[in-house]
A and B are shown apart, each in its own frame.
Chain A
Amino acid sequence: MRRYCLLLALLLSAAACGGESTATTSTADAAATPVGETTTTEDSGFPVTVQAANGAVEVVERPTAIISLSPTSTEMLFAIGAGDQVIAVDEFSNYPDEAPTTDLSGYEPNVEAIAALNPDLVIVSDDLNDIVAALTAIQVPVIHHPAAGSLEDTYSQIEQLGVATGNLSAAASLVASMQSEIEGMVEAVGKVGEALTYYYELDATLFSVTSETFIGQVYALVGLENIADAAGGAESGYPQLSAEYIIDADPDLIFLADTKCCGETPDTVAARPAWDKLTAVANQMVIPLDDDVASRWGPRVVALLAEIVEAVLTLEGSTP
């Protein structure tokens, strides 16, 4: 089983299974530390210290050669205006377009390849190949920001990156605008979401997410009920559902987070055996998502929620 767990953790870029407990505790700790308690609240007041998953990380000077091995962190860095301080990002960091994508890997991190670029700050989402210890040993400050367990984790990671890169005020206003946009959307939906169920598909072998996961919590914001929660016994939060269960549950909405990875579309879903009997297929409520947006916990979570809200309101509008 462990092999599958590991694999899932890797594939979903989420600290699933065994790794989860430690990761969430440390991010929770980090979230519990108010930003004001770090050594500075000034954008220029270095040195600064942030409490990341790998403990207290001290950044002596305002970094100008940042490497991000985490696509989510890359999105966060660019969103808080630290983009021009970033010299290299990993192969999967495909957003925003101006991110300096290299063939550095976050899954098989190579400490020598990283060190060759002389970074003054490295951000990782997974501590694979002991990369955190290796970078610390060669005195490169490294921030470990694992998959967020909640929106609070996302906000706290954004704020920490703001502190560590000297862009705190931009980070704070990003968080504030995310919060208000999300609040606005939740209000717009109101109670209509609560009567609806959804199925969220990670791949064509019917792996899904429960409401325990970060992505599940985003859906829960607008009150949608997750059909995968019945499989909550799957401790990872990423159960593989039975096809017959999905057909029987007949969700109102189907979200495909496997459009890029696996080429699934509303048409391929409708062509699966028995799936043509689903209400969501009949109502054209099979919504293709961008896998990348759906699997990251960065600023674009707002865009994801907007897609969800649009689907809910469309469905509500079409059925009296």
Chain B
Amino acid sequence: MDLQPVTTRERHTAKVGVRLSIIVLLSVMISVLLGILVGAVGLSAGSVFAELANKVPGITVDSGLSTRDSAILWELRMPRVVLAGLVGGMLAMAGAAFQGVFRNPLADPYLLGVAAGAGLGATLAIAYLPDQTQWPVSPLPLAAFAGAVLGVVVTYVLGRSGARQFAASTLILAGVAVAAFLTATQTFIQQQNSDTFREVYSWILGALGTVGWGEVVLILPYVILSGGTLLLYRRLLDVMGVGDEEADSVGISSAGVRLAVVAAATLGTAAAVAVSGLIGFVGIIVPHAIRLVIGSSYRLILPVSLGFGAAFLIIADLIARSVLAPAEIPIGVVTAFFGAPFFLLVLSRSRRFS
């Protein structure tokens, strides 16, 4: 009796999955193409495609670009688009994972002291590390990364010790308290070293304006590790969505899953924050928009968030660098300015939301 409907549903889900993957892949490809075609400097589409073709072994076309234009394309625009994609995908997927694991729709990647910890790490590095320009690798992202991880570890330890039984709200509250403490420390250090004021703020507001392949290489391993882990756990998140006891009753260690998911999402977020500063809104808006359209299965939400998060941030960065070109606007302004109305539109259109 039961067997028939289940198989139909499975088949239906598979079909939806294929269609979704095509849409996601297409949107990522289109946004990447737009990202490398449009910029403050007008490079013709023809020469951009010629440059791309040149990278295929055995093909040599004259793109007509000068050395400088070619450097603009390969050393500035490309890494920026790739990094926007990695950061956007990572933040959106981490956001979805946090929302799932805490069963809290307002959870975002910067929860649990990630942002405040990263800010403190960056400030400490700027204020006290001697002569950063002489280091082989810039210590700034590393310090931000260490701070972010520290913030989460402290939050986790404090949040766990309060309650015998796991309570998501305890952990989130601990995160709020830890974040407040870390921010206060950061502000104090910054004020004691006011000569470094400008650099700290540049970092905090800083976005994707000055990145190169170095940053891409820096975060790629973390994104792969964190993204891979989250994707592996996506089915378990669905089970946990029902409740810890139910999950435990079918033999899933809810505490273990939670720890793994939180660790992976934090690692990915910390890496993203370390190279791009604090870009808000992506981690909340993208997963929710997706959830409103395709339903609440994390099996689908996580991979789709990765793709749409990437496409969203690439387009947001495109807007940030082209609306007032040759001036830039902070990308966080764009993500909120265009993201919020878009989200409200999805919210009001959605039949599933009731």
Contact yes or no, A247 B133, CB < 8 A: no
Q: Contacts A205-B206, A240-B209, A261-B199 known; A233 to B324 CB distance under 8 Å?
A: yes
Contact yes or no, A242 B71, CB < 8 A: no
Contact yes or no, B201 A240, CB < 8 A: no
Q: Which of A240, A244, A268, A278 has the most CB of B within 10 A?
A: A244
CB distance from B155 to the nearest CB of A (A): 26
Q: Which of A204, A245, A267 has the most CB of B within 10 A?
A: A245
Contact yes or no, A231 B327, CB < 8 A: yes
A107 partner residues in chain B, CB cutoff 8 A:
194
Contact yes or no, A263 B195, CB < 8 A: no
Contact yes or no, B210 A272, CB < 8 A: yes
* Residue B197 at the chain A interface, CB threshold 8 Å: yes
B213 partner residues in chain A, CB cutoff 8 A:
273
* Residue A234 at the chain B interface, CB threshold 8 Å: yes
Q: Which of B71, B133, B198, B199 has the most CB of A within 10 A?
A: B198
Report how far A204 CA is from B212 CA in the complex, Å.
13
Report how far A240 CA is from B206 CA in the complex, Å.
11
Contact yes or no, B321 A203, CB < 8 A: no
Report how far A263 CA is from B325 CA in the complex, Å.
27
Q: Contacts A242-B325, A277-B71 known; A206 to B41 CB distance under 8 Å?
A: no
A274 partner residues in chain B, CB cutoff 8 A:
68, 71-72, 75-76, 212
* Residue B249 at the chain A interface, CB threshold 8 Å: no
* Residue A176 at the chain B interface, CB threshold 8 Å: no
* Residue B350 at the chain A interface, CB threshold 8 Å: no
* Residue B328 at the chain A interface, CB threshold 8 Å: yes
CB distance from A286 to the nearest CB of B (A): 14
* Residue A159 at the chain B interface, CB threshold 8 Å: no
Contact yes or no, A242 B327, CB < 8 A: yes
Interface mask (B14-51 → A, CB under 8 Å = 1, otherwise 0)? 00000000000000000000000001110000000000
Contact yes or no, B212 A272, CB < 8 A: yes
Report how far A263 CA is from B140 CA in the complex, Å.
13
Contact yes or no, A262 B75, CB < 8 A: no
Report how far A203 CA is from B206 CA in the complex, Å.
11
Q: Which residues 183-235 of A have a CB within 8 angstroms of B?
A: 203-207, 230-231, 233-234
* Residue B131 at the chain A interface, CB threshold 8 Å: yes
Contact yes or no, B72 A244, CB < 8 A: yes
Q: Contacts A240-B328, A273-B213 known; A204 to B41 CB distance under 8 Å?
A: no
CB distance from B154 to the nearest CB of A (A): 28
Contact yes or no, B324 A231, CB < 8 A: yes
Q: Contacts A234-B327, A244-B72 known; A267 to B41 CB distance under 8 Å?
A: no
| Residue of B with least CB distance to A11 | B198
Contact yes or no, B326 A245, CB < 8 A: yes
The one of A92, A248, A263 that contacts B131, using a Cβ cutoff of 8 Å: A263
* Residue B330 at the chain A interface, CB threshold 8 Å: yes
A265 partner residues in chain B, CB cutoff 8 A:
133
Contact yes or no, A248 B198, CB < 8 A: no
Contact yes or no, B72 A204, CB < 8 A: no
CB distance from A272 to the nearest CB of B (A): 7
Q: Which of B40, B199, B201, B321 has the most CB of A within 10 A?
A: B40
Q: Taking beta carbons and an 8 Å cutoff, which residues of B are in contact with A?
A: 39-41, 67-69, 71-72, 75-77, 79, 131-133, 194-199, 201-202, 205-206, 209-214, 321, 324-330, 333
- 5 residue pairs, one from A and one from B, having the closest CB atoms: A273-B212, A245-B326, A231-B327, A242-B40, A239-B327
Q: Taking beta carbons and an 8 Å cutoff, which residues of A are in contact with B?
A: 1, 4, 7, 11, 91-92, 107, 203-207, 230-231, 233-234, 239-245, 247-250, 258, 260-265, 267-268, 272-274, 277-278
